[in-house]
C-alpha cells in the first residue's frame, strides 16, 4: 500500500504538520476561564439546556427504534478504520474517479493553501459573491474571512449559519451553530442586520419560527438565483464512484449545489468512504445521531459534471490541515472517524453548561476537546486545557455513532499535556508524592493516622473553606471532616485475636 499522497502534500500520512490556529481563535483563554464567563450568561444557559434536552430526547427515541443500532455503530467504525488504514490508496481512487467524471481535484496541505485555491477559482470567475452550503471544513479554514479579504462576499445559506453570520457571532455547535440563540434574539438580529446585506426583514416580523424562516427564505432566495459560484463541504466522499454527498435539512444546500454554474467543495481527507455500499450504514447512523430524525429531508449526491444539468465546473479541494498529524497517533486516529453529527455535544453535561465558544474552535464539545489538541497540538492555553474539560462521564462515547472512545482519548491527551509540561508543576509534585505514599500500605497507614488525628480534633465539624488548590471546591461546597479512625483501624481492632491472610 502506497504511503505518499497522489499529487499534493509531500509528507506521508504517518507524520504531518499541525494545523495553525486561525485568526479568530488566537489568544483564546483556557477553557475554565472561558467557561466561567459563559456560565454567567443565564440566557445562553437556558437556551442550551432547552435545545440539548429536546434533541437528546429525539435522538434517544429514534435510536431505540433500531435493534441493530450497536451493529451499525460497529460497521460505521469499521468502514472509517478501513479508510484510515489505507487512506492514501482511497484518496488516489477518489481523485481518479472524480477526474474521470469531469471534476477538478486540488490538494491543500493547510488552511492557507485551501483558502488560496478557492479564492483563485472564484476570482477567475470574476464574481464578487459566492453562496455557501453549511460546511465545517470551510469554517475550520476560515474561508469566509479569506474570501472577504479578496473582496468576495460569502453568503451563508443555512438558517443557523445565516443567524451567526448576520449576528457577527461565532458558531457554538457543529450542527446547530446558533443553538445559543433563542427566537427573540434571532428576530432582533434579522431586523437589525438583513437590510444591510440584501432584502430587509419585514417590518412586522415576529418571533414565530414560521415567520422567521419565511424572512430567511425571502432574504436568501435572491442570493440563490443570482450567484454564479457556490462553495460546499461534503459529509462523505465515496472512493469507488467519485461521488460527493451532502446531508441537510433545509434545501438550501440543494439550491447551492444545483443552481450556480461553478461548484467548489472543500473536503477533509478523512471524509472518504471506501465504497458506495458504506453509505447505507452512514445514512442510518448520521440523521438519527444528529437531528434525531429517521431520515434527513435532503440528501444531495453528485459525481463530477453532468453536461447540461447542474454546475458545469466542479472543483474538489481535499484538505489535510493537521489530519495527517492525527493519523500518526495509533490511539488518537480514531477521532478521524468523526462524522460531525454532534451527538456527543448534545449529551455532554459540560458542553450544555459551558456552551460552544469556550472550546476556542469551530469544533466544540467532547469531540472538540479531543480533536483540537490533536489537529493544533497542545501549545496554546486553550488546547492545553481542553483534554481536562471533561468529567470523563462517558456519555459521549455511549452516543457516538462511530464509537470514538472519547474518554480514553482525553486521558491519553492529558498524559501528553503533563509530559510536555516537564512535570515541574506543583500538581506534578503533589501527584508524585501521593503516588509514593500509595506505593506502600505502611506509608498510607501513616497518612491515615494524620487524617484521623485531624478528624478527632475537628470532632465532626464541617469544613467550609480550604486553602490553595482546594479553594475552588469550597466556593460552593463543604468538605467532610475526616473520620476518627480509618477502616483498617476498625478491621485490626476486630481481628486482633484472629490471623488474617497478611501474616502469610
Partner 1 sequence: MTASSITPTVTPAVTPTVAKGLKVALFAACYNDTMWPGTPIAVVKLLERLGCRVEFPQRQTCCGQIFTNTGYAAEALPLVRGFVDTFAAYDAIVAPTGSCVGAIRHQHHDLAAAAGDVALTRAVDALTPKVYDLSEFLIDVLGVTDVGAYFPHRVTFHPTCHSIRVAGVGDRPQRLLQAVRGLTLVDLPHKEECCGFGGTFSLKNADVSIAMASDKARHVRETGAEVLVAGDNMCLMNMGSVLARQRAGVRVMHLAEVLASTEEDPA
Binding site for partner 1 (CB under 8 A): 31-32, 35-36, 39, 349-350, 353-354, 387-395, 397-398, 407-408, 411, 414-419, 427-428, 431-432, 434-435, 438-441, 444, 447-448, 451, 462, 469-470, 472-473, 475-480, 482-483, 485-491, 500-502
Computed on alpha carbons and rounded to an integer, the radius of gyration of the chain in Å comes to: 26
* Residue closer to partner 1, measured from CB, 184 or 470: 470
Sheet holding 236-238: strands in order across? 272-273, 236-238, 243-248, 298-302
Q: How many other C-beta atoms can be found within 10 angstroms of the C-beta atom of residue 46?
A: 11
CA nearest neighbour of 146 among 321, 23, 316, 21: 23
* Residue closer to partner 1, measured from CB, 165 or 416: 416
* Residue closer to partner 1, measured from CB, 69 or 388: 388
* Residue closer to partner 1, measured from CB, 208 or 398: 398
* Residue closer to partner 1, measured from CB, 70 or 440: 440
Residue carrying C-alpha cell 488504514: 85
Which three-class secondary structure state does DSSP give residue 243? strand
The C-alpha cell that represents 444 in the structure block: 498510607
Sheet holding 104-108: strands in order across? 104-108, 313-319, 262-268, 229-232, 129-132, 153-156
Tell the smallest beta-carbon distance from residue 474 to partner 1 (Å): 9
Decide: 155 and 180 in contact? Cβ < 8 Å: no
Separation CA 454–CA 19 (nearest Å): 51
* Residue closer to partner 1, measured from CB, 243 or 486: 486
* Residue closer to partner 1, measured from CB, 210 or 477: 477
Tell the smallest beta-carbon distance from residue 328 to partner 1 (Å): 17
Tell the smallest beta-carbon distance from residue 489 to partner 1 (Å): 8
Tell the smallest beta-carbon distance from residue 18 to partner 1 (Å): 20
**Which stretches does DSSP call E strand in 233-389?**
236-238, 243-248, 262-268, 272-273, 298-302, 313-319
Tell the smallest beta-carbon distance from residue 63 to partner 1 (Å): 14
* Residue closer to partner 1, measured from CB, 5 or 31: 31
Tell the smallest beta-carbon distance from residue 418 to partner 1 (Å): 4
Tell the smallest beta-carbon distance from residue 24 to partner 1 (Å): 23
CA nearest neighbour of 365 among 404, 415, 327: 404
The C-alpha cell that represents 271 in the structure block: 471524509
The C-alpha cell that represents 314 in the structure block: 466542479
Instruction: Please report the sign of the dihedral spanned by the C-alpha atoms of residue 83, residue 88, residue 91, residue 96.
Output: negative
Residue carrying C-alpha cell 465504497: 275
Decide: 284 and 276 in contact? Cβ < 8 Å: no
Tell the smallest beta-carbon distance from residue 492 to partner 1 (Å): 8
Amino acid at each position: 500500500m502506497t504511503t505518499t499522497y497522489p499529487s499534493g502534500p509531500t509528507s506521508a500520512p504517518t507524520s504531518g504538520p499541525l494545523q495553525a490556529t486561525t485568526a479568530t481563535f488566537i489568544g483564546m483563554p483556557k477553557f475554565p476561564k472561558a467557561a466561567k464567563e459563559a456560565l454567567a450568561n443565564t440566557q445562553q444557559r437556558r437556551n442550551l439546556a432547552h435545545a440539548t434536552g429536546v434533541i437528546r430526547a429525539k435522538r434517544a427515541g429514534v435510536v431505540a427504534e433500531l435493534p441493530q443500532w450497536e451493529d451499525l455503530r460497529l460497521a460505521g467504525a469499521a468502514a472509517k478504520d478501513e479508510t484510515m488504514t489505507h487512506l492514501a490508496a482511497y484518496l488516489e481512487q477518489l481523485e481518479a474517479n472524480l477526474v474521470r467524471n469531469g471534476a477538478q481535484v486540488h490538494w491543500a496541505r493547510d488552511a492557507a493553501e485551501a483558502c488560496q485555491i478557492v479564492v483563485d477559482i472564484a476570482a477567475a470567475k470574476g464574481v464578487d459573491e459566492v453562496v455557501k452550503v453549511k460546511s465545517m471544513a470551510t469554517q475550520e479554514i476560515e474561508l469566509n474571512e479569506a474570501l472577504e479579504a479578496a473582496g468576495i462576499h460569502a453568503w451563508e445559506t443555512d438558517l443557523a449559519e445565516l443567524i451567526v453570520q448576520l449576528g457577527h457571532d461565532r458558531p457554538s455547535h457543529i450542527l446547530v451553530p446558533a443553538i445559543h440563540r433563542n427566537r427573540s434574539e434571532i428576530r432582533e438580529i434579522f431586523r437589525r442586520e438583513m437590510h444591510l446585506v440584501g432584502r430587509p426583514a419585514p417590518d412586522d416580523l415576529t418571533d414565530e419560527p414560521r415567520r422567521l424562516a419565511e424572512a430567511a427564505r425571502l432574504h436568501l432566495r435572491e442570493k440563490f438565483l443570482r450567484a454564479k459560484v457556490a462553495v460546499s463541504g461534503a459529509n462523505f466522499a465515496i472512493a469507488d464512484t467519485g461521488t460527493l454527498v451532502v446531508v441537510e435539512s433545509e434545501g438550501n444546500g440543494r439550491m447551492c449545489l444545483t443552481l450556480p454554474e461553478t461548484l467548489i467543495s472543500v473536503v477533509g481527507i478523512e471524509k472518504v468512504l471506501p465504497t458506495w455500499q458504506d453509505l447505507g450504514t452512514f445514512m442510518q447512523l448520521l440523521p438519527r445521531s444528529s437531528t434525531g430524525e429517521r431520515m434527513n429531508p435532503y440528501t444531495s449526491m453528485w459525481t463530477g459534471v453532468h453536461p447540461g444539468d447542474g454546475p458545469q465546473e466542479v472543483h474538489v479541494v481535499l484538505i489535510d490541515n493537521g489530519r495527517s498529524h492525527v493519523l500518526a497517533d495509533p490511539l488518537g486516529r480514531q477521532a478521524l472517524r468523526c462524522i460531525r453529527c454532534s451527538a456527543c455535544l448534545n449529551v455532554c453535561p459540560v458542553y450544555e453548561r459551558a456552551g460552544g465558544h469556550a472550546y476556542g474552535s469551530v469544533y466544540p464539545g467532547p469531540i472538540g476537546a479531543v480533536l483540537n489538541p490533536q489537529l493544533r497540538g497542545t501549545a496554546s492555553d486553550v488546547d492545553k486545557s481542553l483534554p481536562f474539560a471533561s468529567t470523563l462521564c462517558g456519555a459521549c462515547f455511549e452516543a457516538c455513532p462511530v464509537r470514538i472512545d472519547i474518554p480514553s482519548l482525553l486521558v491519553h491527551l492529558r498524559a501528553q499535556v503533563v509530559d510536555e509540561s516537564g512535570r515541574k508543576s506543583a500538581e506534578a509534585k503533589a501527584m508524585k508524592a501521593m503516588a509514593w505514599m500509595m506505593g506502600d500500605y505502611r506509608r498510607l497507614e501513616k497518612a491515615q493516622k494524620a487524617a484521623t488525628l485531624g478528624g478527632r480534633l475537628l470532632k465532626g465539624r464541617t469544613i467550609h473553606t480550604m486553602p490553595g488548590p482546594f479553594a475552588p471546591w469550597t466556593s460552593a461546597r463543604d468538605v467532610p471532616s475526616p473520620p476518627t479512625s480509618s477502616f483498617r483501624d476498625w478491621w485490626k481492632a476486630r481481628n486482633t485475636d484472629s490471623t488474617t491472610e497478611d501474616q502469610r
